[in-house]
């Protein structure tokens, strides 16, 4: 799988991941992938470098395993801060995924943020696609 998307249930906000993630990376092995955030009229993308990209799949899988909700914030960030997500939930099955993508190179400092609203019933599909994309499942 070389791309997958997460779409907001109510608005035209999409987070798309693209790239070819090698399976079985360990230690300090890293790779790049593209994260594209589209929220009209905003559209921004960043080339994300991360070691152990499988942890992104694990992050989404943990959200799916806790589909009934959780207290506080579950978050994850790429190694160099290009991509950050914070997930919160309520007792009604609504999940809010706050996404921040940023350019962190010298002379290329910018930040784009938006939120994606999900229903708990969507989490299993999101997790399955994330696990496949980030090289966790064969």
Query: Residue 102: pLDDT above 80?
Result: yes
Domains and CATH numbers, the chain: 3-133 (2.30.31)
- Top-confidence residue, 39 or 106: 39
**Would you place residue 137 in the very low, low, confident or very high pLDDT band (cuts 50, 70, 90)?**
low
Res 25: pLDDT: 78
Q: What is the mean pLDDT of the chain?
A: 92
3-58 pLDDT per residue, tens: 999 999 988 999 999 999 988 777 888 899 999 999 888 899 999 999 988 899 99
List, for residues 43-99, the tens digit of each pLDDT value: 999 999 999 888 999 999 999 999 999 999 999 999 999 999 999 999 899 999 999
| Whole-angstrom distance, CA of residue 123 vs CA of residue 81 | 24
pLDDT of residue 109: 86
Give the model's confidence band at 138: pLDDT under 50 very low, under 70 low, under 90 confident, else very high.
very low
Kindly tell me the burial class for residue 42, based on how many C-beta atoms sit within 10 Å of its own C-beta (0-12, 13-18, 19 or more).
exposed
């Amino acid at each position: 799988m070389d791309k997958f998307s997460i779409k907001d249930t109510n608005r035209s906000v999409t987070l798309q991941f693209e790239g070819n993630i090698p399976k079985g990376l360990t230690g300090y092995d890293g790779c790049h992938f593209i994260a594209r955030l589209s929220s009209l009229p905003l559209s921004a993308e960043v080339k994300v470098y991360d070691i152990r990209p499988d942890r992104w799949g694990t992050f989404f899988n943990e959200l799916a395993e806790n589909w009934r909700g959780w207290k506080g914030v579950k978050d994850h960030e790429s190694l160099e801060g290009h991509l950050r997500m914070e997930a919160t939930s309520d007792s009604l099955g609504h999940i809010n995924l706050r996404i921040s993508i940023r350019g962190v190179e010298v002379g290329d400092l910018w930040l784009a943020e938006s939120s994606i609203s999900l229903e708990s019933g969507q989490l299993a599909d999101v997790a399955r696609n994330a696990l496949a994309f980030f090289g966790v499942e064969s």
